[in-house]
Amino acid sequence: MKYKYLFVAFVLFMLCVSAVNNKKVIGVWEIVEFTFFQKGVPAKSDEKTLRDAGSVWNMYFNEDGSFKQEFNMRPPAMAMETEKGTWKLEADSLFIEIQANNFTRKLNYSFISLGDAFVITLQNPVTPDKVVAKFRRK
Q: Which domains, ranges and CATH numbers included, belong to the chain? A: 2-137 (2.40.128.280)
Give yes or no for residue 15 having a pLDDT over 80.
no
Give yes or no for residue 19 having a pLDDT over 70.
no
pTM: predicted TM-score of the whole model, two decimal places: 0.82
By DSSP bridging, strand 27-38 and strand 117-123 are unpaired
Give yes or no for residue 9 having a pLDDT over 50.
no
Give yes or no for residue 132 having a pLDDT over 70.
yes
Res. 74 pLDDT band, cuts 50 70 90: confident
Q: Does residue 43 contact residue 36 with C-beta atoms inside 8 Å? A: yes
Q: What is the model's pLDDT at position 4?
A: 46
| Region 99-104 average pLDDT | 86
DSSP state of 53: T
Distance CA 40, CA 110 (A): 18
End-to-end CA distance of the chain: 49
